[in-house]
Amino acid sequence: MDFNKIPKQFCENVVVAHSQEYFAMIMSVGETAAAYALTPPHLKRLMQSLGHQIEEYEKKFGEIDAKWTPGIESPLQSKDIIPGGE
């Protein structure tokens, strides 16, 4: 697969919620969104991969000025995710 030929969209928001069995990750672009379910080990490997990519980026371009502020209530809550998509 040639990743350069895949259409790219700017992701405006990512929301993650979890149950004991899986993590749900929802990525929104404008008025549309895509939801993904990942096993806990899969999500952890994704986080490791993202961390590696950020480290490599910052080696080349300098530190990214970003701050994560937990506790900000998202418009989508995990209680809104209905198991089985019912």
Bridge partners (DSSP) of residue 35 are: 26
Contact 24, 18 (CB under 8 A): yes
Indicate yes or no: pTM above 0.85.
Answer: no
Query: Is residue 60 within a helix (H) or strand (E), and if so which, with residue range?
Result: helix 40-61
Q: How far apart are CA 52 and CA 39, in angstroms?
A: 20
pLDDT 10s digits, 16-48: 999 999 999 999 988 889 999 999 999 999 999
Between CA 35 and CA 41, with CA 40 as vertex, the angle to 5 degrees is 120
pLDDT 10s digits, 48-84: 999 999 999 999 999 999 887 777 666 666 566 666 6
